[in-house]
Amino acid sequence: MRHIIIIFASLALLASCTPKNPPTPHTPTLKMDSIYTTADFRSYGDYYNTGLEVFAVDLLSEGLIYDSTFHISGSGCNLYLSDIFVHGDSLPAGHYQMDSVAREMTFLRGMDFEGNITGTYLLHINEDKIQQIVLFHGGSMDVAYTEEGSVHLDFSLYTTDSTYYHAQYTGPAHYRRND
């Protein structure tokens, strides 16, 4: 009988030491520039014949610039979304989800086709040379417009190994047609 009491007392002691809400594992975070200062918004029309307009957004962090032909130079980060699908002639405010198909208010995930990257990706550029390419496999983008006419983009993106990247852009949204 004494052994049973010791066993129950030991179990009660162990149970009281186990946390009721164990901590969640830390999500790794991508440590790169995340504030973008320059943007290029491009419209491709109904490029895929889906009934949806296709847009691309090319964002540059401080240290990168476009030349007169929109080539990038300098050092910093370049966040690029090649295919954003919407109805209308600009990106409407709202919540966009990364997907692998063309549906309204979605954008394509990063993909590598034998060395040709497309979709949503991040370039780390140093002195005009690409140092690293990060493809995003999941995530979302929120688009909002300010009273002053600026656009605010807020990104929550994830790589295939679940590394998190949060980025933002606030500024003008000048759309140019890319025919």
- The predicted-structure confidence for 62-108, as pLDDT tens digits, reads as follows 999 999 888 999 999 999 999 999 999 999 999 999 999 999 999 99
State residue 162 phi and psi, 5-degree precision: 70, 20
The pLDDT assigned to 13 comes to 43
Give yes or no for a contact between 33 and 62, defined as CB atoms under 8 angstroms apart: yes
Query: In whole angstroms, what is the distance from residue 113 CA to residue 82 CA?
Result: 14
The pLDDT assigned to 54 comes to 97
The pLDDT assigned to 4 comes to 45
Give yes or no for a contact between 133 and 110, defined as CB atoms under 8 angstroms apart: no
Q: Which residue positions in the chain have pLDDT lower than 70?
A: 1-26, 179
Name which of 147, 138, 122 is nearest 31 in CA terms: 122
The pLDDT assigned to 70 comes to 85
Total-model pTM: 0.83
State residue 13 phi and psi, 5-degree precision: -65, -45
Query: In whole angstroms, what is the distance from residue 135 CA to residue 92 CA?
Result: 25
Name which of 82, 69, 79 is nearest 42 in CA terms: 82
The pLDDT assigned to 10 comes to 46
Q: Which residue type does 70 have? A: F
The pLDDT assigned to 178 comes to 82
Pairing status of strand 94-99 against strand 138-145: antiparallel
Query: In whole angstroms, what is the distance from residue 115 CA to residue 110 CA?
Result: 12
